Structure 1
Amino acid sequence: MDEAEPSPAAHRTADVAHGVASTWRPGRPRSWIAVRSYVPLGLVAACYTAVQLALTARIGLGWDESVYISQVARGVPAAEFTAPRARGVQLLVAPVALVTPSVTAVRVYLSLLSGIALFLAYLPWIRLRAGAVAPLAAALFGGLWLSLFYANEAMPNMWVAYCGVAGVGLACLAEARPRARLATAGIVVAFAIASLMRPSDATWLAFPLVGYGVVRRSPRLLFATVAGLAIGWAEWMIEAVLRFGGPLARLHAAGAENATGLHFSLPDHLRALNGPLLCRFGVECGGLPLTQVAWFAAVPVVAGLGVWMVRRRALVAALACGLSLALSYVFTVGYAAPRFLLPAYALLALPVSAGIIWLCRRRGTAVLAVAGVACYFAVQAKSVYVYGEQVYAARATAPAVAAQLKQVGMRPPCFLYGHDAVQIGYLAKCASHGVFRHYGGTSSVPSSIRAAIARSDWVGVITTSRRPPAPFLAAWTSIDLRVVGEKTWYVFVPPRGNP
């Protein structure tokens, strides 16, 4: 998707007019240029993994992670797999989870894998002669507190981000080089992985590429992108037929669960920039974090500057694909989670980096650009440390509750229902059904509990309230779980004990 090789005179004119280094010209880089670009990118990826291992690898599992990993974890009953989810994450963690359900093992594995993925994602951009843009973009994206937090989480958004960056870069390479068969195959692989992780996100990312392929009559680019998307969508539709009553029924169920429709959720996204991880289900997003909003507001400005001054189709493609996904969440999803925009951040980091480099080549703006980047990294470092500690403390409760449940007589096969039941059930190797606030059972016992009792499972309803959170629990026995922390936990067991 990059332009053909311009003449030497055009190079000189462009360099003088726009301050663009000659390394932006497409073609095979010389060895010294390759080393100069690959080594910094490799160092960024290594630091990225090291920070994860130091700060976030010890954090326990969240609800969604427990659902994904439980589908393949050895000895753990699979949690309920709802309509909006796709199977890519469980395939990602399967090499470790099939051997051991250890949370630490999964975290270390994903930390190492994410470092490799970051390197490979931005690697095609070096082949596009991006010079220092690719390593700087990788550093900006990898240094984002959200990236450091989610990189070793069993969640789909980071892997869609890696694949989006790689897929767009490979598409540009395939267009610039007539015989780029490996790049074309890479496009298929990148969008296949992205669509297996999250088909809707992969589709929004691919829209600008598909549109470009149609307008420019580029069958190779069009076929490769659509073929990659088709792999993930095919798996999604087959499962829709087998488990959810067909594709339309699954789309309807997924839309209802994800509050899709015509919305404007940008204010929620701004309030969620420094947490919480989900602005929904009664969770307060808080006020506007001004330091986070500052860099968020600077992204489109600096990205636009980078595209305008460098004037390369590859950067336009990155900008278009990133905005396509970002706008899909702002206007079609009625709530916010900061991880939703990770693929957009990963792509927008490329034109942002080009804009920063352009500013650094001018004496009047270089100090401002360097100071801005330094402030950005300082804000992200503080955020990942502070919020990482908060999430670590919050999720440390689940192992303690699981241990206490074993002491009060819980034994497999077992079934847990209630607050954080999915995370605790994973650690206790129990089947589970999680709820946020509404425990149901206003007139009768919920069907999932009745089914568990019929199977002769050990059944427990866990909550942080001493009072029964639902009418059906009034006749059940409440047992205190002595867990160190701010909250007191309780488990309600059937009136005659568990079968």
Structure 2
Amino acid sequence: MATTDRRVEPVSAITDRDGTPHRDVRLAAVAVAFAVLQLCYSVAHMDLGWDESVYLSQVDPRNPAAFFSAPRSRGISFLVAPVVSLTPSVTALRVTLVLLSSLALFAAFRVWEPLLGKGRVALAALLLTGLWITVLSGPEVMPNLWLALAAVAAAGWFLRARRDAPGRRRALAGLAAALAAAALLRAPDAVWLALPLLAACACLRSWRTPATTAAVLGGLAAGGAQWAAEAYTRFGGIGRRLALSSDTEGGMGAHLGTGFRASYRALNGPQLCRPCRIAGPSVTHSLWWWLLPVLIAAACALALRARRRAPGEPEGPAVTLLPVACAMALAAPYLLLLDYAAPRFLLPVYALLALPVAGLAAHAVRAAGTAGGRRARLATVTALCAVLAAHLAVQVEELRVNTADARDTTVRYRRAANELGRLGVIAPCLVTGPRAQPIAYEAGCASAQTMGNNRSHTTADIVRTATRIPTALLYDTRHPYLPPYARRWHSHPLPGTDWLAYLP
């Protein structure tokens, strides 16, 4: 479990029976399977979701930019900008993201091959891609999976950047680049990710060098520069942006039990649970989540025991303990400081913890072989494969359900946008109301909110705009309050949805 580079290197090259070395393709096979799963489940007929329309509108030359709230970062918008500038096709965008996310998965986990060996790394990648939320997130214009892969790469490059390690300059460059990518994608989360790395720089002699510290801080600064500059130009400074982010998130603070319960309840959907008052998933569909802390504790215990047996090799335990520390740091704000949840929030945590879990599985197989011989080893492998197959079957079912739910929601957005066009709400135009943003993007209109987390305009702004360009208020029939300015507007049902459109 707690192997060092020197012990693992011999297994990184596999040879044929005649002694000719050949490449191990297991990680590549996982990446290809990940791409196929995305294409089969998450791409076909799935239009754009709410947050996706916000991120896309920032770089889409055909549509007005939506209000960009304080908690968001622009990295995912930069990633998709070249595709959006060339084509409005959602299918082309999805397929491009499938290819990019699969390549990023391969690149991020490959960083760990000299540390853990190819088999363990391929298993870790399989554990991550076996989660329904990973497959659903791959082709989406959302930052969480990309942050997860950046975190995996950053932790791996950090471990490979030891004082006396070969290829140290490359590792330092990879570390800085991975942290810069994380900061571009979600600046506050990148800071949480960097805290264990900086602690390791301070406490462990192998990484206690100015170059390693500079790579961590330099990567954060390079990736976070845009976020910080925007904080001053739009929000009045970094402190003010953080305060507004907290307000938008519902007041970040000591939600010690609420955040954990919300994350558990949202484990298998919905994609956003706010407020999260639903019942939790069944035991069969959440057992892995409850077992995960036990498995991680066992992996850490094995790493520490190996440390006592080989006190001169601190890198071995670090291969297990560092990803666990980074995962705990990234989980802290979502489990302890928020009172709502979304399954995608914990993707970076799952990605990092997949590495020690894969190592623990390899240790179990090796221990069984040592104690009981080949037959015991085969029995252990068979049992682990059966458990993994049962887990993947549950995840595939959750993927099917959540993909269908996401498709139904986005189809309603498109139907509403098409009906608005039939009613004469065509660009330049404005759409307001609780569901305005994704429907406005589909219709090619600007969006505006007068209340809530995305408040960007006043009622007077809406009324003035309605005298100049086509304007529509989307009203949920289940909502009890219709704004006074729209009470004399004409209502139009939007077929196939629960909404009415009020037009002046």
TM over 0.5: yes
**Offset, 1:383:** 0.5
- CA displacement 1:162-189 (0-9 Å, x = unmatched): 0000111111111161542111101111
* Matched residue, 1:464: 476
**Offset, 1:130:** 2.1
- CA displacement 1:182-212 (0-9 Å, x = unmatched): 1110111100010010011111112111111
State the distance in 1 between where 2:178 and 2:25 align: 23
State which of 315, 326, 329 in structure 2 corresponds to 1:324. Answer: 329
- Would you say the 8 A contact 2:53–2:437 is kept in 1? yes
Q: Give 3-state SS (helix, strand or coil) of 1:432's partner.
A: strand
**Offset, 1:135:** 0.3
State the distance in 2 between where 1:445 and 1:38 align: 60
State which of 383, 400, 404 in structure 2 corresponds to 1:385. Answer: 400
In structure 2, runs of 5+ residues without a counterpart are: 307-315, 369-375
State the distance in 2 between where 1:447 and 1:372 align: 60
Indicate whether 1:449 and 2:449 are aligned: no
* Matched residue, 1:253: 244
Amino acid at match of 1:220: A
Q: Give 3-state SS (helix, strand or coil) of 1:68's partner.
A: helix
Q: Give 3-state SS (helix, strand or coil) of 2:184's partner.
A: helix
Indicate whether 1:191 and 2:179 are aligned: yes
Amino acid at match of 2:279: G
State which of 196, 211, 219 in structure 2 corresponds to 1:220. Answer: 211
Greater RCO (CA < 8 Å, at least 6 residues apart): 2
* Matched residue, 1:93: 80
- Would you say the 8 A contact 1:418–1:439 is kept in 2? no
Pair 1:447–1:110, CA change in 2 (3 A): farther
* Matched residue, 2:229: 238
Amino acid at match of 2:246: G
Amino acid at match of 2:225: A
* Matched residue, 1:371: 386
- Would you say the 8 A contact 2:11–2:117 is kept in 1? no
**Offset, 1:32:** 3.9
* Matched residue, 2:311: none
State which of 14, 22, 43 in structure 2 corresponds to 1:57. Answer: 43
Indicate whether 1:402 and 2:396 are aligned: no
State the distance in 2 between where 1:317 and 1:276 align: 31
**Offset, 1:233:** 2.4
* Alignment map for 1:151-166 (pairs within 5 Å): 151-166=138-153
State the distance in 1 between where 2:159 and 2:3 align: 9
**Offset, 1:436:** 9.1
* Matched residue, 1:171: 158
- Would you say the 8 A contact 1:326–1:341 is kept in 2? yes
**Offset, 1:277:** 1.3
**Offset, 1:324:** 1.3
State the distance in 2 between where 1:252 and 1:438 align: 13
TM-score under structure 1 normalisation? 0.88
Pair 1:451–1:356, CA change in 2 (3 A): farther
Pair 1:195–1:479, CA change in 2 (3 A): same
Amino acid at match of 1:56: S
**Offset, 1:390:** 1.5
Pair 1:203–1:356, CA change in 2 (3 A): same
**Offset, 1:100:** 2.0
State which of 435, 441, 446 in structure 2 corresponds to 1:431. Answer: 446
**Offset, 1:434:** 5.3
* Matched residue, 1:292: 285
- Would you say the 8 A contact 1:84–1:254 is kept in 2? yes
- Would you say the 8 A contact 1:303–1:354 is kept in 2? no
Amino acid at match of 1:195: A
Indicate whether 1:475 and 2:488 are aligned: yes
Pair 1:243–1:383, CA change in 2 (3 A): same
State the distance in 1 between where 2:454 and 2:216 align: 44
Amino acid at match of 1:103: V
**Offset, 1:475:** 1.1
**Offset, 1:472:** 2.4
Q: How many residue pairs were aligned?
A: 469
- CA displacement 1:401-447 (0-9 Å, x = unmatched): 1111111111210000113211111111110135898999xxx9714
Amino acid at match of 1:421: A
Pair 1:36–1:461, CA change in 2 (3 A): farther
* Alignment map for 1:274-289 (pairs within 5 Å): 274-280=268-274, 282=275, 284-289=277-282
State which of 246, 254, 265 in structure 2 corresponds to 1:262. Answer: 254
Q: Give 3-state SS (helix, strand or coil) of 1:132's partner.
A: helix
State which of 110, 117, 141 in structure 1 corresponds to 2:128. Answer: 141
Taking only the aligned residue pairs, the percentage that are identical comes to 36
State the distance in 2 between where 1:345 and 1:91 align: 25
Amino acid at match of 2:114: R
**Offset, 1:5:** 6.5
**Offset, 1:61:** 1.4
**CA RMSD in angstroms, aligned pairs only:** 2.6
Pair 1:181–1:109, CA change in 2 (3 A): same
State which of 338, 344, 349 in structure 2 corresponds to 1:339. Answer: 344
- CA displacement 1:123-145 (0-9 Å, x = unmatched): 01112242311000000001110
* Matched residue, 1:74: 61
Indicate whether 1:489 and 2:502 are aligned: no
Indicate whether 1:114 and 2:114 are aligned: no
- Would you say the 8 A contact 2:194–2:216 is kept in 1? yes
State the distance in 1 between where 2:173 and 2:99 align: 25
State the distance in 1 between where 2:21 and 2:263 align: 39
State the distance in 1 between where 2:416 and 2:269 align: 25
- Would you say the 8 A contact 2:67–2:454 is kept in 1? no
- Would you say the 8 A contact 2:69–2:454 is kept in 1? no
- Would you say the 8 A contact 2:176–2:219 is kept in 1? yes
Amino acid at match of 2:187: P
My pick for the range that moved more, 324-333 or 344-353, is: 324-333
**Offset, 1:38:** 4.3
- Would you say the 8 A contact 2:5–2:114 is kept in 1? no
